[in-house]
């Protein structure tokens, strides 16, 4: 049942996100609007579009949420595998389950480490520039002719 729903949700999300689906929706609204004078803009005429859009929106929310949940889980799993197989710190695996406070603390720790790295790189760059300025200019090469005169 789960696989069937996943396939259905993926196929529906792909189909409803297509240009053809958008054009069909636009055509439906245009046809509905064009029939307004025929039905004298009655309450029933208005109810048709309101009910139709409400039902479609209601169902699409669940399909979209399902596909986003699966995509998010797949991305987290891939990132966890990259972390696990690299020299990165394992504390980042599974952080999507942390509380907001725990995430804020981890973010602060990462920001501090990034700031320290940036400071180190700026210092190293400044030292490199300083060495370049202090180094004597290379002596100009003399041509053999200039040496004879």
**Of 22 and 132, the one with more pLDDT:** 22
- Of the candidates 55, 54, 98, the one whose C-alpha atom is nearest the C-alpha of residue 76 is 98
| pLDDT reading at 137 higher than 80 | no
pLDDT in tens, 50-70: 999 999 999 999 988 988 988
Across 8-16, average pLDDT: 87
In angstroms, the CA 142 to CA 78 distance is 62
Q: Which two tokens stand for residue 14?
A: 């792909």
């Amino acid at each position: 049942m789960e696989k069937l729903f996943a396939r259905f949700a993926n196929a529906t999300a792909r189909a409803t996100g297509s240009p053809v689906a958008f054009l069909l929706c636009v055509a439906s609204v245009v046809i509905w609007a064009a029939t307004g004078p025929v039905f004298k803009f009655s309450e029933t005429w208005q109810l048709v579009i309101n009910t139709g859009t409400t039902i479609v929106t209601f169902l699409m929310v669940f399909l979209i949420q399902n596909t986003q949940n699966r995509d998010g889980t797949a991305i987290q799993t891939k990132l966890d595998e990259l972390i696990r197989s690299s020299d990165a710190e394992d504390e980042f695996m599974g952080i999507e389950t942390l509380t907001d406070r725990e995430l804020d603390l981890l973010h602060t720790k990462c920001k501090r480490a990034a700031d320290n790295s940036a400071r180190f790189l700026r210092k190293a760059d400044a030292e490199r520039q300083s060495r370049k300025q202090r180094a004597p200019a290379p002596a100009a090469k003399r041509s053999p002719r200039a040496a004879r005169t």
